[in-house]
Each structure stands twice: as structure tokens, then as C-alpha cells.
Structure 1
Amino acid sequence: MQKNDMVTVTIEDMGTSGEGIGKVDGYALFIKDAIIGDVVEAKIMKAKKNYGYARLMNILTPSEYRVKNPQCSMARKCGGCQIQEMEYGRQLQFKMDKVRGNLMRIGEVPEELLDCVMEPIVGMDEPFHYRNKAQFPVGTDKEGNIVTGFYAGRTHSIIPNTDCSLGVPVNEKILKCILAFMEEYGIRAYDEEKNSGLVRHVLIRYGFTTKEIMVCLVINGNSLPHGEILAERLAQIPGMTSITLSINKDKTNVIMGNQIKPLWGQTYITDYIGNVKYQISPLSFYQVNPVQTEKLYGLALEYADLHGNETVWDLYCGIGTISLFLAQKAKKVYGVEIVPQAIDDAKNNAKINGITNAKFYVGKAEEVLPEYYAAYEREHGGKTAHADVIVVDPPRKGCEESLLQTIVDMQPERIVYVSCDSATLARDVKYLRGCGYELERVRAVDQFPQTVHVECVCLLRKN
């Protein structure tokens, strides 16, 4: 196979990033936008010794799982929805297979054990318009028009789109108001190559329960000219609660600046997960799919199996979302998070919910827990610190081995692992199984329909 060759391929599998996989005379090809069951014509773009990457040119025979009329016309151009053109039931099967495959291949979990412990994936009844947060880059097109939308896959080229199928409908009204204001007052969009212009991004957050709306403009400056006029216009939108500016004058790919300036209303909105109330600021980490988050945290609580006398550690606790769920059933909960503002939010969220049995620490989980363990041992004459249940919800990189070892040393009866990357989950499960813990329950939760991402909750119990 050589670059620019045209080939006909039957798609037999899908990669972890959602690309179709097929073979031509034993040579594997990865083809973006092709799905299992498609027969496609593709052009080879990069040829390695045993595999290559090809561009989808024509769908010769569509798969039985292919959606005839995708909800979003931009699905293939935009980098946000990798598998929107696949029927939703097949998306769920793909994600189940992904979790199972990683646990078998990376985690070395026996297939017969997975047959016993894996539970059906938790899907959505309505797998569109589920996101309570969206970040829209702002730029200028070739004709000089101000545009916003989403980046094309693996680029910083903006695909103009104010009506994302994953976001809430009010986003479009907000974005059109901002674009019209910028055109009217000659306010320039940011040019990341020249590090010039003012408006970089628009962050929108929406409370699914409270219906409160937050708008935060990320700007390359200290103020927004005529900002009071924009605020007055946005404030007319029902539910508008918070309008702020995020100051980011750095030449960086990081979206948000650290300084938040109020423009109108509060600097936060509130929302609920279950019966727990949260205050959410522009910089707060908060799960983007509240419908599925309630199911995810409900599973974490179910797996923790609390009866009121337990000491629980919640590592990577963010603004206390899982901690406060657990605190309703535990004797004491300790939360750990590296971001100081998140811990401030967690303490405040505990206060507004009247929760007094949760304590929060700022720092890296892989440093805080071992330091606590060592200090406890010193102060108690060699007696080791103990936890009944430890919950971890790490970033994609998973847990560091030093943290896993401290978790094992604390000898919790149960470990509840919430994961956004089943590959690193599988790696960590392998370590924990080697240290005397066995996988007892596993369930995937579809937090991000139309994308390749999937959350997962595991329960490991001490042998």
C-alpha cells in the first residue's frame, strides 16, 4: 500500500478514537467517519509497514448502524462528535466493548470474571442537548466576519456553528447576541497567531434544575468596551444569572484566565445533582451531563455501600460533588483536590447544604494521602490510618502507583474507582488486583453520547 492509493474497504471494527478499521489483503486501515458494517472507498493518506490511515471518500454500502439523517450537519467536520453517524444503541455497544476490551487486555482481568461482574451500560433516553457547559472559540473568517463555533478535529480552525446538537438551545441566542454586539461596536475577535484582538472564547453554563444561565467572555485585555450594553442585552434572556469576564492575556492554548471580573449579576450559578446543591463559578469543575452524573454518582454511592459508621476518602474530589453525596450516608468524608478554588467551592457547597461531616484538603492526592498516612503513624505510635471506603475519580492519566500503594496500605474494605479513561482504569485495576483486591462490579455510564468517551464505575473489594 502506498500514499494516494484508492481502495475499497469493509469496516469490521472501530478504534478507541472512533475511527473505522478494515483490512485490504491483510493490511489494516484506520478510516475516520467510517463505522462498523460500512463498505467504503478510501484514499490512503499515510502508509506504515503494517497499517495505514485513509480518508473516507465515498460510502459504497452504508452500514445497518449508520444514521440516515444525522442531527447535526457539521458532525463530520467538527471535532466534537466522533460517532454521531452511528445508531445510538450501537454506540453503547461500542463503549461497552471498549471498557471490556481494556480490562481484559491491559488489566488482565479474566474473561470469565468479567462475564460475572460487568453490568449493562447506563445510556440516555435523550442523547442530545445534554451538555450544561460549552466553550466557543471566537475568530474571524476569510471574509473578515466574526465567527464562533468549534474547532475542526485536531486543528484550531473554527467551524462556524451557533447551534450545537449537544448543547442547550439557549446557547444559540446568547452567541448571536454577542456576535451582533461585536460587529456593532467594532470589537475584534482574538487572533491567536498574532496574539491580538480582544474576545477569545465564550463560556456558557446552564443549570438543568435551576434554569440559571452563566455567560463568561474570555478576553485578551482588562475590560470590554461597552460591556454594560452587552450585559443589558444578555440580561433580557430568561434565566440569565451571571455575566463575567475572564482575563487571559497570555499567548497560550489554555482557555480560561485566573482573574474573573463581574459584569452583571452574580459570579456563579447554582444547580443540583440529586438533592445536593452546588455553586458553580466560571472556573469550577462540574460534570457537563447532569442527567447522567446523577446516575454515575448514584452508582458510586451504591457501590460504596455506606451505613452511617464509615470513614471515607474521596480523592480528586473537585468541588465536592461525590464527597457530598457520600457524606449523606457516611460518618466522615475526607476530600482531596489539587485546585485551591475547587476546595473553596467544596467547603462552600458543604456549608450551603448543611453538611458538617466532610473535611477537605488542598493538594495532590498522591502527596496528601501518603503524608496523612505517615503523619498518623507517627502520632499514633505506629498504628496505621484506616479507611472503610476509598473513592477515586482521577483525571485521564489515572492514579500514580505511590497513591495506589497508600490506598492498599490503608486497607479499605471497598475501593470505588470512577474513571473517564478505561485504559488507565484497567492499568490501575491490574495493580490493585495484585495487591489483594478483587473486581466485584463494573458498570459503564454514557456521559458523552455521540462521542467516543465513556465513564465507568468499578467496585473492588478486599479479599
Structure 2
Amino acid sequence: MNKNDIVRLTIEDMSLEGAGIGHTDGVTIFVKDAVVGDVCDVIITKVKKTYCFAALKEVVEASPYRVEPACPNARQCGGCQIMQVSYEKQLEIKDNIVASNLVKIGGYDRAFVDSIREPILGMTDPLRYRNKAQVPVGVDKDGKIIAGFYGARSHRIVPSDDCKICSEKSMNIVYTVIDYMNENGVSAYDEATGKGLIRHVLVREGKATGETMVCVVVNGDKLPAADSLISHIQSVEPSLASLVLNINTRRDNVIMGYETRVLYGKEAIRDTITLTNGDTIAFDISANSFYQVNHDQMERLYSKALEYADLHGTEEVWDLYCGIGTISLSMAKHAGRVIGIEVVPQAIENAKANAKLNGLDNAEFYCGEAEVVLPEIYEKMSRPDVIMVDPPRKGCDTVALDTMVKMQPNRIVYVSCDSATLARDLKYLEERGYHIQKYTVCDQFGHTMHVETVCLLSKLHEAKHHINVKVDMDELDLTSAEAKATYKEIEEWVQEHYGFHVTNLNIAQVKQKHGIIERENYNKPKSENSRQPGCPEEKVKAIEEALKFFQMI
């Protein structure tokens, strides 16, 4: 296989980046813009030892899942990787990627994963869903100011006057800023030289309130003719609530700087979410605040998290990576106390203000990295009933995970934006006594490969919902190791995870192997000459895994 070879492929699958996957002569080929089910001719663009990358040359036979993208820039822009795939198929692909990661990385059995998977939460309409547009500004080869989105794996701006997953209002505002720049001689930032003023235009919307914020990110400390910019924006958005200037003079690709100044209106806009139980929570959102970009799906995601938390008014809930308090305050209405932890100081101030805004005095917030603050707070406070985590893409730090296990909450609700790190963390927690009960995938980002997942984990005794076991009197003569799990619980754990039955004798033999003292009636032959059958190796392994799960060995 050589570069520029033309190959005919049948696309068999989709990669995590949204490329089609095909095979020829034992070589895996990743094809941008291809759809599972396509028969297509592709041009090899890069050759590796065991795989290649290719560009789509021609679709010879279109997949039944192929659709015409809603956006003419879909193939050039890096924002929507799979807009050429029908939305129903997108949901299936995402759902299966999460399940596959739980199997391959988490180590769970596929049948088990399928048994605990709840139906994916898809969008009613996968277009115009974003409440935030973050649009880079630059110049083309002719020196003309342009705005759009970066091409895939590049910082090359693909001009776009209408992003189909952003609102029309936000894109109108962006191009009104471009008009202001042209009329007032305001330059666009050039990444290559580090010169020029305006780098990005960010538009945030309160979907429930209609309030709009515009943030202009500049490579400097002031904006010329600010009154003219205000007038331009108000001409297309009369209800403008906030115009802020963000200072970012760094030579890197981080969008926002550390300093933000108000040019017009207030420093934050307000939005509300309404959960499926009817609760309404209000939030003030600043330019730097983390706030889910899909308002309607956020309501469904947080409703599911609240459902999994199973609160009855008295529980203590700890929310790690709490941001501006969106999940914390959703829980606070149904908990005795909520404690939130977040590394960003401004977010903590926002969270405290949002608690006050909603009249919730049972929510406390602490600033710092979860892996640092969590152990410190744990030493001073009581054990939480529920721990809620919504970490960044990298997942949870092992120090945080270890502290969570040490705190022994009844339930852990884990919200994740990366199913690979989710699976890794679930495996870590599973090995330390927390068993996944169920999970739901929620599509927050239609036409992209990104997806959110919410999982419920419980300690096994709770997961079994109070199993009733008949106890003989000699059952009360337990060692400390035996007291951690009954024979019935071990038997059911093996059945659930390995799909076969083990006997009390099997369990007793393995426990004896590991030095756990057994009661006479389980392990002693009826006569000195009788022979007990040996425990098969596969059952030994399964029982040992159960004993590890119950922390008995």
C-alpha cells in the first residue's frame, strides 16, 4: 500500500473520531467522511505499518445511513465529524462506543453491559442546539477579515456565515462584529505573527430567558470605538444583556484570558433549567463559566443524575468538579446537605451566588483540586451518602477515587464526557467494592462524536436490594473476613459476572485455600474415607474475583 493509491472499500465501522473504517489485504484504512455501509473509492493519504489514512474520492454505493449534510461546510469544518450520518445511526454508534469501552477498558462482560444499559437520550432536533458559539476571527490570503471554525486537526479557519448547530442569532451577532471591525479599521488576530487585535467572538444565550452575552476576546487591553460595537450588536439583538471584553495576549491556542471587563450591561446572564420532576433552578453565567452547551439535553442529563442519586431529603451529597453548581443545586432541593468542590475560584463564587439566587442554604462550596481538597474535607466532616462526580475529559485522579472509596458512600453517580476514562475509573471503583448498577448515554452534541454518560454505582449489599438469606445458628460463627459477604452473595456475584453456578463447597474450598477459616458443616467430609470433588479452575478464578470484590482477600 502506497500513498496516492486508489482503493475500493466497504466501510464496516466508524472510529472514535468519526472516520469510516474499512479493510483490504489485512490493512485497516480510516476514511474521513465515509459512512458505515458505504462502498467507496478512497485515496491513500498516509501509510503506517498496520493501517492507513485515506480521503474519500467517490461513493460508489451509498450506505442506507448516509444523508446530505445540513451544512455545506461539513466536510471542511472540524466541528461536525458525522453530519453525513443519519441521526438515528449517530445515536446507535455513540451508544455502542460507550458499551464497547466498558467492555474493552472496563473489563465488563458485554451481556452484562447490555443488561444495565438504559435507552439513549437523543435530541428532538439535532440542529440549532448550542447555547454558546465560540468563533475564531482571522484573515484570508487576500487580507479579508473572516470568521468561521477551525478545519479538522488544524487552526485553519474555514469561513462560515451560518453554523447549523449554533443559533441563527449568535451567527448574526458574530458577523455584526465583523462589520464593526471593517467600518472602524479594527484588525483581526494573526496566529502566525501574534499581531492583530480581535481573536474570538463568543456568544452565550440563556435559552429559557432569552438573555444574550457577547464576549470579544482581544490581543490587547482595550477596544477602539466600543460604543460603535454596542450599537452594531443592538441593531441585530435589541435585548443584549451583556457585552464584555476578555484580555488574552498569550501566544497559544487557549481561547480565554484571565481578565474580563464589562463594556455594557452586566457581567453575567441568567438562564434556568427545568428538570423532569418540575424543579426549576436559575443560574447566573459569566463569560468563563462552564455551562452545558445544550440546554434541553442538560435538563434530561441532570434529571437522570438526580434520579440515580435517589434522594429523600436527608442525605448528604458531595459534588466533585461542581463548576457553577448546576448539578449541586439540582440535588440540594432534595438533600439534607450538598458540598461542592471545584478548582476554578470564579466558578465557586458563581456557585455560591447561584445557591443564594435559588434560596438554597444547604449547599456549601470549596475551592481547590478535588484530589487535594477532598481528603482534607473528609477528615473534618461526616461520611456522604451520595458522591456525585462530573470530571473533565481526563477523568478522576486516583487520589480522589481512593478517597471516595474510603468514604464509603452508599451510591456514586458518575457523569462523564469521555467514555474511555469513564470505563477506566469504573474498573478502578469496581475492584474496590463499587458495582455499576445502570447507565444512560445522553447525546449533548449532535453530529459530533462527543457524548455524555451518567452511571450509578452502589456498594454490592445495596445493589442486591437487601437479599434475604436463611441463616443457620452455626452461620453466626464468622471470621472477620467471612463477615464481609455471605455464601449466597458470593454465589450470586459469580452467577452475575461469569454466568455459571458455584456451590457452597466450591466457595469453602477457595476460602480455605486463602486461609479463611471455615465452619465445620461446609467443609468437613461426612466420613474420613470420603473424597470431595475438587473445584474446577474456572470456578476457582471466579470465586477469587468475588472474594477480591468483597475485600476478603
Supply the distance in 2 between the matched residues of 1:48 and 1:248 (Cα, whole angstroms).
Answer: 39
**What is the aligned partner in structure 1 of residue 480 from structure 2?**
none
- Measured after TM superposition, the shift of residue 35 of structure 1 is 1.0
**What is the aligned partner in structure 2 of residue 47 from structure 1?**
47
Supply the distance in 2 between the matched residues of 1:127 and 1:62 (Cα, whole angstroms).
Answer: 22
- Measured after TM superposition, the shift of residue 193 of structure 1 is 1.3
SS in 1 for 2:250: coil
**What is the aligned partner in structure 2 of residue 307 from structure 1?**
312
| Count of residues in correspondence between the two structures | 454
SS in 1 for 2:207: coil
**What is the aligned partner in structure 2 of residue 379 from structure 1?**
none
- Measured after TM superposition, the shift of residue 111 of structure 1 is 1.8
**What is the aligned partner in structure 1 of residue 516 from structure 2?**
none
**What is the aligned partner in structure 2 of residue 268 from structure 1?**
268
Letter in 2 for 1:396: R
Among candidates 366, 383, 390, match of residue 386 of structure 1: 383
Identity %: 52
- Measured after TM superposition, the shift of residue 415 of structure 1 is 0.4
**What is the aligned partner in structure 2 of residue 172 from structure 1?**
171
The answer to whether the Cα contact below 8 Å between 1:273 and 1:290 also exists between their aligned partners in 2 is: yes
**What is the aligned partner in structure 2 of residue 354 from structure 1?**
359
Among candidates 459, 463, 471, match of residue 462 of structure 1: 459
The answer to whether the Cα contact below 8 Å between 2:177 and 2:232 also exists between their aligned partners in 1 is: no
**What is the aligned partner in structure 2 of residue 444 from structure 1?**
441
- Measured after TM superposition, the shift of residue 396 of structure 1 is 0.6
Map Cα deviations across residues 402-457 of structure 1 (whole Å, 9 max, x no partner): 11111011111100000000000000111111111111111000000000001000
**What is the aligned partner in structure 1 of residue 215 from structure 2?**
216
Map Cα deviations across residues 334-392 of structure 1 (whole Å, 9 max, x no partner): 0000000000000000011101000000000011111222345xxxxxxxx41100000
- Change in CA separation of 1:452 and 1:204 when aligned onto 2, cut-off 3 Å: same
SS in 1 for 2:23: strand
**What is the aligned partner in structure 2 of residue 13 from structure 1?**
13
Among candidates 326, 345, 348, match of residue 340 of structure 1: 345
The answer to whether the Cα contact below 8 Å between 1:128 and 1:165 also exists between their aligned partners in 2 is: yes
Residues 48-127 of structure 1: pairs in structure 2 closer than 5 A: 48-67=48-67, 69-127=68-126
Letter in 2 for 1:4: N
The answer to whether the Cα contact below 8 Å between 1:440 and 1:461 also exists between their aligned partners in 2 is: yes
**What is the aligned partner in structure 2 of residue 162 from structure 1?**
161
Supply the distance in 2 between the matched residues of 1:266 and 1:420 (Cα, whole angstroms).
Answer: 31
The answer to whether the Cα contact below 8 Å between 1:163 and 1:171 also exists between their aligned partners in 2 is: no
Supply the distance in 1 between the matched residues of 2:346 and 2:209 (Cα, whole angstroms).
Answer: 23
Supply the distance in 2 between the matched residues of 1:32 and 1:76 (Cα, whole angstroms).
Answer: 9
- Measured after TM superposition, the shift of residue 26 of structure 1 is 2.0
- Measured after TM superposition, the shift of residue 112 of structure 1 is 2.4
Worse-superposed segment, 451-460 or 18-27: 18-27
Letter in 1 for 2:428: Y
Supply the distance in 1 between the matched residues of 2:413 and 2:120 (Cα, whole angstroms).
Answer: 17
Letter in 2 for 1:9: L
Map Cα deviations across residues 253-305 of structure 1 (whole Å, 9 max, x no partner): 11111111111111111001111000011111111001000000000000000
**What is the aligned partner in structure 2 of residue 432 from structure 1?**
429
Letter in 2 for 1:393: D
Supply the distance in 2 between the matched residues of 1:74 and 1:233 (Cα, whole angstroms).
Answer: 27
Q: Judging by fraction of residues, say which structure has more helix.
A: 2
Supply the distance in 1 between the matched residues of 2:257 and 2:234 (Cα, whole angstroms).
Answer: 23
| 2:301 maps to 1:296 | yes
- Measured after TM superposition, the shift of residue 144 of structure 1 is 1.4
Letter in 1 for 2:448: T
- Measured after TM superposition, the shift of residue 239 of structure 1 is 2.5
The answer to whether the Cα contact below 8 Å between 2:20 and 2:32 also exists between their aligned partners in 1 is: yes
**What is the aligned partner in structure 2 of residue 28 from structure 1?**
28
Structure 1 length-normalised TM = 0.97
Unaligned runs of 5+ in 2: 275-279, 461-553
Worse-superposed segment, 348-357 or 245-254: 245-254
- Measured after TM superposition, the shift of residue 156 of structure 1 is 0.8
Letter in 1 for 2:81: Q
Among candidates 365, 390, 401, match of residue 398 of structure 2: 401
Supply the distance in 1 between the matched residues of 2:398 and 2:262 (Cα, whole angstroms).
Answer: 42
Among candidates 332, 357, 373, match of residue 378 of structure 2: 373
Map Cα deviations across residues 115-135 of structure 1 (whole Å, 9 max, x no partner): 221011000011110000011
The answer to whether the Cα contact below 8 Å between 1:443 and 1:457 also exists between their aligned partners in 2 is: yes
Map Cα deviations across residues 80-134 of structure 1 (whole Å, 9 max, x no partner): 0000000000000000100000000100111222122101100001111000001
**What is the aligned partner in structure 2 of residue 38 from structure 1?**
38
Supply the distance in 2 between the matched residues of 1:103 and 1:172 (Cα, whole angstroms).
Answer: 38
Supply the distance in 2 between the matched residues of 1:59 and 1:434 (Cα, whole angstroms).
Answer: 47
Greater length-normalized contact order (CA 8 Å, ≥ 6 residues apart): 1
**What is the aligned partner in structure 2 of residue 380 from structure 1?**
none
Supply the distance in 2 between the matched residues of 1:234 and 1:3 (Cα, whole angstroms).
Answer: 49
**What is the aligned partner in structure 2 of residue 203 from structure 1?**
202
Supply the distance in 1 between the matched residues of 2:408 and 2:432 (Cα, whole angstroms).
Answer: 10
Supply the distance in 2 between the matched residues of 1:10 and 1:405 (Cα, whole angstroms).
Answer: 46
SS in 2 for 1:125: coil
Supply the distance in 2 between the matched residues of 1:374 and 1:390 (Cα, whole angstroms).
Answer: 16
SS in 2 for 1:303: helix
The answer to whether the Cα contact below 8 Å between 1:162 and 1:171 also exists between their aligned partners in 2 is: no
Supply the distance in 1 between the matched residues of 2:341 and 2:171 (Cα, whole angstroms).
Answer: 37
SS in 1 for 2:120: strand
Letter in 2 for 1:320: G
Instruction: Find runs of 4+ consecutive structure 1 residues off by over 4 angstroms.
Output: none
- Measured after TM superposition, the shift of residue 147 of structure 1 is 0.5
Supply the distance in 2 between the matched residues of 1:192 and 1:208 (Cα, whole angstroms).
Answer: 33
